């Protein structure tokens, strides 16, 4: 048989999805395992949003919609972006698709010719590198350090730019590090991007989940010049506990939006009409439920960070957003645990699942092989028990 697509064959599976599948399988088999793998809120979608979805079905809102989303939803997105992020877009500049993940894909599709370079600071969300490859682009990974709070500096960005650079991906607040760029840091990055004329795919899906009273700044709000070059990705999955509804969007300049709309009109048809109705309610109703969830995440983060740093052999820095903690396992590398010498985060993750009965995501897939990611989008009871298990596991006990 003829060879499959070289581009497709080069794509690695998603480690976050793989851990979640394995965890769910072990759970279904009746094993006493605790999951910190999947980055999805454990809260249910708020009732008033679910009711909007049910009403959409009852009112027969069950047909195709415009391929980039209904005008009603795109207007609601514009209002929310203006109110929360201080950025103004027209409904024509918004493209809605089936979650933020395909939005990153179509954003890249709109920009990338084969061989174009896309700068990606590491640690990065596992899908970015593969999505770049899927569009024929070349990921240029720029490592950031824990000591710098995993943030890319303007100088590091400048040094990574070549004549082939088309774009960079910025995820703010970041999955997996939970770090958030300040206004000043964004201004410096924006200056380089404008000077060097590169696009930024800025994924701000965690923008509601920000802690310690810190200010979230949307990249597109920095200046009209950077807004013109920004493809702002966002969605309802994380802020409204709506991961299964599959609604995300890209906001961009007219030309980019037109190209994305053409693309979507062929490859997805339209996002779910029912989910779009629910998303309108999520975005336009009172935002109180978002605040309730945000506060719960903040309490969980505080507990997890403090407890993790009290355990010998591991450590973490305090994240300012999203719902992830990057646990540093550098001290464990080369040590023997449960009869195995730990070489990297993959070894650690496998052993911890086998002997500690806890699922975490090894940093290897994020370009950070001496870290593992814990998601705190789970109950405080699970967090306490997970960290108890970590302590026992590191002492050589089997759960
Ligand atoms: N961007 C980031 C940074 C994410 O963590 C996720 C989570 N899957 C997504 C995008 C995709 O979100 P969605 O579920 O809306 O596709
Ligand atoms: N974004 C989440 C995570 O990082 C969900 C899984 C995925 O889409 O990668 O765990």
Which CATH number goes with the domain that contains 324?
Answer: 3.90.1150.10
* Residue 349 and residue 240 share a domain: no
* Residue 321 and residue 207 share a domain: no
Pairing of strands 230-235, 336-337: unpaired
* Residue 69 and residue 127 share a domain: yes
Q: Is 71 left (phi over 0), alpha (psi -120 to 50) or beta?
A: alpha
* Residue 181 and residue 328 share a domain: no
In this prediction, residue 342 carries a pLDDT of 96
Ligand 2 atom having least distance to the Cα of 127: 9
Q: Per-residue pLDDT for 186 more than 90? A: yes
Q: What is the mean pLDDT of the chain?
A: 97
| Domain assignment present for 52 | no
User: Of 229, 257, 285, which closes a domain?
Assistant: 285
CA-only gyration radius of the chain, Å: 21
**Mean pLDDT of all residues in 119-140:** 97
* Residue 293 and residue 193 share a domain: no
Provide the domain limits for residue 347. 6-44+289-394
Q: Which of 13-27, 54-68, 224-238, 307-321 has the lowest mean pLDDT?
A: 13-27
| Domain assignment present for 54 | no
How far is residue 399 CA from its own chain's centroid? 31
| Domain assignment present for 259 | yes
* Residue 280 and residue 293 share a domain: no
Ligand 2 atom having least distance to the Cα of 39: 10
User: Of 231, 258, 285, which closes a domain?
Assistant: 285
Pairing of strands 34-35, 358-359: parallel
Neighbours of 178 (CB within 10 A): 28
In this prediction, residue 38 carries a pLDDT of 81
| Domain assignment present for 352 | yes
Residue nearest to atom 9 of ligand 2 (CA): 16
**Mean pLDDT of all residues in 63-71:** 97
| Domain assignment present for 1 | no
Entry pTM: 0.96
Cα of 197 to ligand 2 centre, how many Å?
30
Cα of 101 to ligand 1 centre, how many Å?
5
Give the model's confidence band at 21: pLDDT under 50 very low, under 70 low, under 90 confident, else very high: confident
Could you give the CA distance from residue 183 to residue 189 in angstroms, rounded to a whole number? 10
What pLDDT, in 10s, does the model give residues 293-321? 999 999 999 999 999 999 999 999 999 99
Q: Is 32 left (phi over 0), alpha (psi -120 to 50) or beta?
A: beta
* Residue 66 and residue 37 share a domain: no
Number of domains in the chain: 2
Ligand 2 atom having least distance to the Cα of 17: 6
* Residue 76 and residue 148 share a domain: yes
How many angstroms separate the Cα of 328 from the Cα of each of 146, 305, 333, 368? 9, 12, 10, 10
* Residue 241 and residue 117 share a domain: yes
**Mean pLDDT of all residues in 222-243:** 98
| Domain assignment present for 399 | no
Contacts of 252 (CB under 8 A, 6+ apart): 93, 95, 107, 110, 230, 231, 232, 260
| Domain assignment present for 51 | no
In this prediction, residue 18 carries a pLDDT of 81
* Residue 201 and residue 294 share a domain: no
Q: Taking Cα atoms as reference points, which of 348, 340, 351, 399 lies closest to residue 373?
A: 348
Dihedral of alpha carbons 210, 214, 215, 220, sign: negative
Give the model's confidence band at 16: pLDDT under 50 very low, under 70 low, under 90 confident, else very high: confident
Q: Taking Cα atoms as reference points, which of 302, 96, 81 lies closest to residue 207?
A: 81
Could you give the CA distance from residue 211 to residue 387 in angstroms, rounded to a whole number? 22
What pLDDT, in 10s, does the model give residues 78-118? 999 999 999 999 999 999 999 999 999 999 999 999 999 99
* Residue 221 and residue 107 share a domain: yes
| Domain assignment present for 274 | yes
Cα of 388 to ligand 2 centre, how many Å?
25
Query: Mutate which of 125, 236, 243, 365 to test ligand 1's pocket (most atoms within 8 Å of Cβ)?
Result: 125
Ligand 1 atom having least distance to the Cα of 103: 16
Cα of 17 to ligand 2 centre, how many Å?
6
Answer yes or no: are the C-beta atoms of 263 and 257 closer than 8 Å. no
Q: How many CA atoms lie within 13 A of 121 on its CB side?
A: 31
Residues with CB under 6 A from ligand 2: 14, 16-17, 38-40, 101, 125, 127, 175
* Residue 223 and residue 115 share a domain: yes
Q: Taking Cα atoms as reference points, which of 69, 70, 88 lies closest to residue 78?
A: 88
């Amino acid at each position: 048989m003829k060879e499959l697509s070289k581009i497709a064959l080069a794509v690695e599976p998603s480690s976050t999805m793989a851990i979640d599948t394995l965890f769910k399988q072990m759970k279904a088999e009746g094993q006493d395992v605790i999951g910190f793998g999947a980055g999805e809120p454990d809260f249910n979608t708020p009732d008033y949003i679910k009711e909007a979805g049910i009403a959409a079905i009852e009112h027969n809102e069950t047909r195709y919609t415009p391929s980039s989303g209904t005008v009603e939803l795109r207007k609601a997105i514009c209002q929310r972006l203006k109110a929360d992020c201080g950025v103004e877009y027209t409904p024509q500049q918004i493209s809605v698709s089936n979650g933020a993940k395909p939005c990153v894909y179509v954003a890249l599709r709109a920009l990338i010719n084969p061989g174009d370079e896309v700068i990606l600071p590491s640690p990065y969300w596992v899908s970015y590198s593969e999505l770049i490859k899927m569009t024929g682009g070349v990921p240029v990974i720029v490592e950031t350090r824990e000591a710098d709070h995993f943030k890319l500096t303007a100088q590091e960005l400048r040094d990574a730019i070549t004549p082939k650079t088309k774009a960079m991906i910025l995820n703010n607040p970041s999955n997996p590090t939970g770090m958030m760029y300040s206004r000043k840091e964004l201004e410096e990055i924006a200056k380089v991007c404008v000077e060097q004329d590169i696009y930024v795919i800025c994924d701000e899906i965690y923008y509601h989940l920000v802690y310690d009273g810190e200010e979230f700044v949307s990249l597109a709000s920095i200046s009209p010049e950077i807004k013109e070059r920004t493809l702002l990705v966002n969605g309802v999955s994380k802020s409204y506990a709506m991961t299964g509804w599959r609604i995300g969007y890209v906001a961009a300049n007219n030309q980019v939006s037109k190209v994305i709309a053409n693309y979507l009109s062929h490859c997805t048809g339209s996002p779910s009409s029912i989910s779009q109705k629910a998303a309108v309610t999520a975005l336009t109703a009172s935002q109180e439920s978002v605040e309730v969830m945000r506060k719960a995440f903040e309490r969980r983060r505080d507990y997890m960070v403090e407890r993790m740093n009290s355990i010998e052999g591991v450590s973490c820095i305090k994240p300012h957003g999203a719902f992830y903690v990057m646990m540093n396992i550098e001290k464990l590398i080369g040590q023997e645990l449960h009869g195995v010498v730990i070489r990297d985060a993959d070894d650690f993750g496998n052993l911890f699942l086998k002997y500690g009965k806890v699922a975490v995501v090894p940093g290897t897939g994020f370009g950070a092989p001496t870290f593992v990611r814990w998601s705190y989008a789970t109950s405080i009871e699970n967090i306490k028990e997970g960290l108890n298990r970590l302590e026992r596991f590191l002492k050589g006990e089997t759960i």
